Amino acid sequence: MKNLIAALLTLSIATSGMAQKFTTKTGQVSFFSGTALEDISAVNKQALSAVDLSKGEVAFVVQILGFEFEKALMQDHFNENYMHSDKFPRATFNGSFQKAAPLTWPGSHQVELLGKLEIHGVSKEIRVPATLAVKGEEAQLNLKFSIKLADYGIKNDKVKNISETIEITVKTSMKKS
């Protein structure tokens, strides 16, 4: 009996140490810019997202050409004049959770992510708040943060119809992989 309990305990410890990886290829990344001239928003629903809860690692990749705007003209300007998506086709984030709490516990956790955000070929370290919810085989990770266009070398000096600070929202619903 003692041997059986010991074996179960060992198995339980070993299992808890195993990789807790969750991924999706249909994460949603949207952004919003509001000025007196006009409001601009776009969404991309094909973001690759992954978290490894045992290591506390997070990664996102989104294709710039995949952002959809209400107006075709805005979409053209976004790709050609601002993001230069032919030269810099993707935006990435690689980071880690800055909280030592047991993230694998079921429930919702307020966490902080620290990592490198690369947009327009410029990489910068950012620290952003996030909500992580783990339930069985699924994990949801949601972020909302702002970036300054100038920090990423995105020039907005022709028409001032885009705000200097853009609000970015990331919503992901990932499955255990």
89 near other proteins, rule: CB under 8 A: yes
Question: By three-state DSSP, how is residue 32 classified?
Answer: strand
Q: Contact 169/25 with Cβ under 8 angstroms?
A: no
Least distance (Å) from other proteins to the CB of residue 68? 6
118 near other proteins, rule: CB under 8 A: no
Beta strands in 53-121 (DSSP E): 57-63, 68-69, 90-97, 107-119
Q: What Å distances lie between residue 55 and 15, 22, 136, 151, CA to CA?
A: 14, 12, 18, 29
Least distance (Å) from other proteins to the CB of residue 76? 9
Task: Enter the tokens of residue 7.
Answer: 């074996």
Name the one range near other proteins by CB under 8 A: 40-48, 121-129, 144-152, 163-171.
40-48
18 near other proteins, rule: CB under 8 A: no
Task: Enter the tokens of residue 156.
Answer: 């907005």
45 near other proteins, rule: CB under 8 A: yes
Residue 107 amino acid letter: G
Question: By three-state DSSP, how is residue 15 classified?
Answer: helix
Name the one range near other proteins by CB under 8 A: 65-73, 102-110, 132-140, 160-168.
65-73
Closer CB to other proteins, residue 65 or residue 133? 65
Residues found near other proteins in the complex (CB under 8 A) = 21, 23, 25-26, 45-46, 48, 50, 52, 55, 57, 59, 61, 63, 65-66, 68, 71-73, 75, 79, 85-86, 89-90, 94, 177
